[in-house]
Structure 1
């Protein structure tokens, strides 16, 4: 009881001193008290406020990183670190470190927190799929929807070597900020995907976006009125994104630009002036080149540009040269490893008695795209034997079709050759039949030689 009365007396004395002593003296005493506590404490405390700068109006980036880091770890482990709520709306985090190791730990730990926060933000944020709406000259030329494509490199029907090469190249690009700045190059990468329809070009783009956690901008060139709008659309794209132009050879007649320019030099002055008016009202090859590799292409960082085409030879060489399209990826017929990947994805099988038959047909010239094989497996996914037998039948039909192409209308061709020959204009029917058999034998021998030597390459 006596101890309690002494405590109340001490608190009363403090209250009297607080009212009597000047504010400056109280502040000095408080700072001395804090210094004594800090001197005898084995820990150092660092405050990370939400706002800093002049008048405290600038958002503290480190505060955001700490907040993201705490959200990224298990909530049950962070509950013990929440001490109290701030009533004056001035929020901050307090970091406690051992005093003897604070200089060694502070910088490395904060760098670790920032790195984890950036990774968490990259993975957790909602990715979006954009397309241009034809109004690039206004506030925003893009409209978007959530991007939820399920394709990944684990589910792609690609050969293992190509899959590994692509993932390593993408990972090196994502981690190459310092390298690109050091060598003086814009932090961007170009990919040309070419192959027949159904070979997996769109699925590969989706897998790239999911691996890198990038937004996707699907650029429709036919909706761009001119080069200025194309440049505006480029400026409106964000960092960490993939810009896709599908079927680049069909979107616009870009290859004919150079030919038209050469012809315009030989035309009259009136023709040249009218041609210039036409150039101002459309997207040109020069505008697209500046879009991919000009000065305006460096207005953002960590961006990937992807062109797709069914026929690589139809694309102007200036669009796909090194420096614009850094990596050319050929996607063709489904190989045996890609086929096994499809079977695992659709049927859940890693082996089957017909795998050897499928491999022999693929090696002998049977060619199906991953989309064609995937459709067969999808239709018969409840019966693995029927599904794989369907693939075998389709491969056999494709191989037979290739062989029949070599022998199409061979009898008619032979008859035409013999009948149109001058030396057979008056020949007897016996000589005609004999020469017909000889030519047919030679054509058949040539086709067999071709099938053995030319069908190995897929």
Structure 2
């Protein structure tokens, strides 16, 4: 059929629609509905495009609840298609400190997916709903209209909408104000989800560029994090929960907290600081864990000081003897407390599979005190030692604090760092001359040399004192033996 024939057919259909609108009020409604249905089917047959409407609010009784797909589409259009629009609008979300710029009402933009062209249109219509007006404070019903050729119906419904939802969520996660959570004592829980965790904005400035450690070691950590973040399908393939465990250990002041902040900023994750002493039992621990979200870091700092979960497990015989001495009521209370097995199940048991893309981090100052079952590979997948300041770590600090990468005093500092154990925190403090207005880097480096030399002398005095104490103790042990030999003689 030629173009003239198609044009004539379209003109005929339009004429029929015009005549129907004139006579529809003068014929019975049964006939009117039937004719309308027939006309709709005929028009749909010749119309090659399909529309999908995505409402901002769904459900007549839930107008106050925004539709997640609408929010995701808004974020997706902001990041992908807004550059092709001539009319834009900016909005600031509740959990974001960055404005969201997206297409304005009555604006349309094209998009493509796997070679298929689609069109997005932003629309706003008046609404007579009193509920809608009450919650929205404006009598406008907003929605997106997605148009595409009908031969691509299955692709758009099946894969494209899922793609929009996933990409939109990722955009919202990157834009959101990340938060630092802490668990509330169970006595404060009131039955609502918000009572389990309280939070503040997470604004720690630490990054991997500012963390003082060996660059090679730092690169290994970054590579491991990237592999984890991109490993969703791999974890599913091997049948493991999508999580990763890191154990940070080393003396106080070696940067364990800064490393956690750097990981959170690099991964763009929320941080849940879990205080085990506020958890009564395993049941509460499970409830707390369920209330965490994906793309988050769960931190237990100083795990060696958290309850009685460290060291070697008690022998069964000794444990049974102690239980026999306790009254029945006390024994029941004891069995309800948080246990090592409960914590292990939290890390890699069945409950660890609730949600995905989580990182669990333990920190300790005393690695030797931890139960081997707690830190074995598979639970704490990567052990990261944060030790005393090395010369490589010092160079990172010098660059961050002073903006210098080379100086004649570096050689002296390198020699001193090989002779004494000093933490990165102490080195950083030595590079900060609060009362000095001299901006010369040499002044700060000379002050650091004095700090390291003082630490070296203090270490010598401490070692000398410990040696004297040990000699005195050894001598006191030998004296009774000499007296016994004299008596025997």
**TM-score of the two chains, using structure 2 as the length reference:** 0.71
Partner residue of 2:427? 373
Are positions 1:87 and 2:144 aligned together?
no
Note the C-alpha offset of 1:346. Answer: 1.8
Deviations, residues 118-142 of structure 1 (Å, cap 9, x unaligned): 3211111222211122117652322
125, 137, 143: which is aligned to 2:198? 143
Aligned mates of 1:18, 1:108 — CA distance in 2: 41
> Over residues 147-189 of structure 1, what are the superposed CA-to-partner deviations in whole Å (9 max), with x where a residue is unaligned?
1111122221122112111112122222222222221212221
SS of residue paired to 1:258 = coil
User: Residue by residue, what CA displacement relative to the aligned partner does 1:276-301 show, whole Å, maximum 9, x if unpaired?
Assistant: 34523532222222222222222232
Contact 1:127-1:147 within 8 A present in 2 as well: yes
Displacement, 1:343?
1.9
Instruction: Look up the match of 2:52.
Output: 47
Is 1:319 paired with 2:374? yes
Matched residue, 1:431: none
Q: CA deviation at 1:273?
A: 5.1
Query: Which residue does 1:118 correspond to in 2?
Result: 169
Superposed, which structure 2 residues align to 1:299-314 within 5 Å? 299-314=354-369
Alpha-carbon distance in structure 2 between the residues aligned to 1:268 and 1:410: 43
More relative contact order, 1 or 2 (CA 8 Å, 6+ apart): 1
Q: Tell me which of 226, 230, 243 is aligned to 2:285.
A: 230
The correspondence of residues 126-141 of structure 1 with structure 2, limited to 5 A, is 126-135=177-186, 138-139=190-191, 140-141=195-196
Q: 3-state DSSP class of the match of 1:390?
A: helix
Is the CA contact (8 Å cut-off) linking 1:257 and 1:284 kept in structure 2?
no
**Once the 2 structures are TM-superposed, how far is the Cα of residue 386 of structure 1 from its aligned partner?**
1.5
Cα offset, 1:416, TM superposition: 12
Contact 1:189 1:305 in 2 (8 A): yes
Residues 25-44 of structure 1 correspond to what in structure 2 (within 5 A)? 25-33=35-43, 35-38=45-48, 44=49
Cα shift at 1:409: 9.2
Cα gap change, 1:339 to 1:15, in 2 (>3 Å) = same
The range that moved more, 403-412 or 71-80, is: 403-412
Greater strand content: 2
Unaligned runs of 5+ in 1: 1-8, 39-43, 423-458
Q: Report the CA distance shift for 1:197/1:33 in structure 2 as closer, same or farther (over 3 A).
A: same
Aligned partner (choices 225, 236, 241) of residue 181 of structure 1: 236
Residue of structure 2 in register with 1:72 after alignment: 79
Shift in alpha-carbon separation, 1:299–1:305, aligned structure 2, 3 A: same
Give runs of ≥4 in structure 1 deviating > 4 Å.
9-15, 51-62, 73-76, 88-91, 96-112, 271-275, 400-418
CA deviation map 1:85-109 (0-9, x unaligned) = 2335664433455789998899776
Greater Cα shift, 352-361 or 193-202: 352-361
CA gap 1:306/1:421 in 2 versus in 1, 3 angstroms: closer
The reply to whether residue 352 of structure 1 matches residue 359 of structure 2 is no
Separation in 2, partners of 1:11, 1:50: 29
RMSD: 4.1
Task: Choose from 284, 288, 300 the match for 2:339.
Answer: 284
Deviates most, 107-116 or 170-179: 107-116
1:12 to partner: Cα distance: 8.6
Cα separation, 1, equivalents of 2:474 and 2:318: 43
- SS of 2:429's equivalent in the other structure is helix
* TM-score normalised according to structure 1 size: 0.75
Name whichever structure is richer in helix by fraction: 1
Cα shift at 1:247: 0.7
Q: 1:16 aligns with which of 22, 31, 50?
A: 22
Deviation at 1:311, TM superposition (A): 1.1
SS in 1 for 2:313: helix
Three-state SS of the structure 1 residue aligned to 2:124 is coil
Which residues of structure 2 form unaligned runs of 5+? Answer: 1-14, 88-106, 109-120, 128-139, 480-489
Closer/same/farther in 2, CA of residues 206 and 417 from structure 1, 3 Å limit: closer
CA distance in 2, matches of 1:216, 1:12: 63
C-alpha distance in 2 between matches for 1:108 and 1:24:
35
**Matches of 1:355 and 1:309, distance apart in 2:** 31
Q: Mean Cα displacement is larger for which, 106-115 or 302-311? A: 106-115
3-state SS in 1 of match to 2:186: coil
Q: Secondary structure at the match of 1:193?
A: strand
With 248-257 and 313-322 compared, the bigger mean Cα shift is at 248-257
In the other structure, the counterpart of 2:443 is 386
| Equivalent residue, structure 1, for 2:254 | 199
Mapped to 2, the partners of 1:269 and 1:11 lie a distance apart of 91
* Separation (CA, whole Å) in 1 of partners of 2:304 and 2:474: 40
CA distance in 2, matches of 1:348, 1:196: 27
CA distance in 1, matches of 2:241, 2:323: 42
